[in-house]
Structure 1
Amino acid sequence: MKTLGYQISFNTKRIFLRNFSYSFFTILMPIGFYVLFTKVLVSGTAAQELVFAKQYLGSMIVYSVLINAMFGLGQIMQGDRQQELILALSLTPKGAKYYYLSIGIVMSAINILSIILMQLVGRLTWQINLSITESLSVVIVVILGTLPLMGLGILRVCLETK
């Protein structure tokens, strides 16, 4: 368990804190799109704008999570494969299983952070208040929906390294 904790800490710093482009494309860009398309480039009555803002909030949450699962994970795994990090980890006594598990945990945590931030922006810009049940169901559905995509990315890298 201590090994997994170290691996999670290492991957969090490496992926999220040291890679601004990753943070930009998975979190900041969807927030920027949401504000741009709901506050700047919108027309209609106030009721129509509110309905659009609610629907677009869901779209941007899904967009953010899919960008993370499809492109973020793929970029990270491909970079690790090119730098032979996965090969080096597979030669250690613990193997690469903690690496894969920690990547999944870090990606899920970033997805949850992204969902929370998107909901916060929706609340601050349009006073969209989701109940705790709605918020948790969004998190659960989105995370469960991205697990197959993350699994395919990991499987692809596993098959290419053997």
Structure 2
Amino acid sequence: MLINQTKAETLRLVRSPFFLLFSILMPLAFYFLFSALNGADKEIESTTYAQYSLMSMTAFSLISTAMGQFGIRLSYERRDGWVRLLKLTPLTPSVWIGSKMIAHMGVHLLTILVIFSSAHVVYDMDLTMTQWLLCGLWLWLGSIPFLAIGALLGTMKNADALVAVANVVQMAIAILGGLWMPLQTLPKWIQQIGQWLPSHRYAHGAWNMLSGSAPVMLDWVILIGTGIVFMALSGFILNKREAA
């Protein structure tokens, strides 16, 4: 049951025009634009701007998919009565939500492969296989906390309003977290906020790997803490509504 539902969720996700536009095309367009404007070979944080921005835009893509499409889909299905319909079928709520998360993780892996491959073809990235694998693995697993944020957003009762809320939140944490522009180039007050955002810690771990370092402890703490807190909150809200 879980396998079949996961296949269905995966097909529905990759067939969505919003996935192609916001998770693949838009991040790639911004990546090539920023790299061209700033100079792909420009040095930044012990690496080149093309490599640095690649991690930023890949992180932005996965955040958009996790927070936007995952959360919005949950809210619309709840609004349309899909959750109530589940009670009349053998499909349990845990299989329903679990299949969505597995499908998104599979699509996240596909997204990483597409964006990494496109950047490598255009700029012939001077990265070792180990760096490619470690950065990809970090970005893939690090997307889980943003699925948790998406799950919390998906508890909103007004599904139409959630579309605007999700877009504003994901854009805000991407910009304030230094994904669009390096954090050190932004005003001091933004830097003080941005360094604590999960979006910044997410990309920061990948940036460190480019320079031969490992993600710092704060990267791990903030990402893991974000995943636990937001998943617990979304579970609490949903269980409370079910009990009511």
TM-score by length of 1: 0.84
Q: Distance in 1 between matches of 2:21 and 2:33?
A: 16
Q: Distance in 2 between matches of 1:152 and 1:53?
A: 29
Match of 1:126 in 2: 123
Q: Which has the higher helix share?
A: 1
Contact 2:67 2:149 in 1 (8 A): no
Contact 1:16 1:22 in 2 (8 A): yes
Match of 1:48 in 2: 42
Within 5 Å, give how 1:1-162 maps onto structure 2.
Answer: 3-17=1-15, 19-39=16-36, 41-43=37-39, 47-48=41-42, 51-154=48-151, 157=155, 159-160=237-238, 161-162=241-242
Contact 2:62 2:143 in 1 (8 A): yes
SS of alignment partner, residue 128 of structure 1: coil
Residues 151, 91 of structure 1: alpha-carbon distance in 2 compared, 3 angstrom cutoff: farther
Residues 11, 51 of structure 1: alpha-carbon distance in 2 compared, 3 angstrom cutoff: same
Q: Distance in 2 between matches of 1:25 and 1:153?
A: 15
Tell me whether 99-108 or 136-145 shows the greater mean CA deviation.
136-145
The residue type equivalent to 1:144 in the other structure is L
The residue type equivalent to 1:16 in the other structure is V
The residue type equivalent to 2:90 in the other structure is P
Residues 139, 84 of structure 1: alpha-carbon distance in 2 compared, 3 angstrom cutoff: farther
How much has 1:129 moved relative to structure 2? 4.2
Contact 1:74 1:153 in 2 (8 A): yes
Contact 1:100 1:154 in 2 (8 A): no
SS of alignment partner, residue 143 of structure 2: helix
Q: Distance in 1 between matches of 2:7 and 2:95?
A: 12
Contact 1:115 1:139 in 2 (8 A): yes
Q: Distance in 2 between matches of 1:37 and 1:67?
A: 18
Q: Distance in 2 between matches of 1:9 and 1:42?
A: 41
Q: Distance in 1 between matches of 2:63 and 2:23?
A: 9
Identical-residue share of aligned pairs (%): 26
Residues 152, 56 of structure 1: alpha-carbon distance in 2 compared, 3 angstrom cutoff: closer
How much has 1:107 moved relative to structure 2? 0.6
Q: Distance in 1 between matches of 2:32 and 2:111?
A: 15
Task: Return 5+ residue gaps in structure 2 as ranges.
Answer: 156-234
Residues 103, 130 of structure 1: alpha-carbon distance in 2 compared, 3 angstrom cutoff: farther
Q: Distance in 1 between matches of 2:66 and 2:118?
A: 22
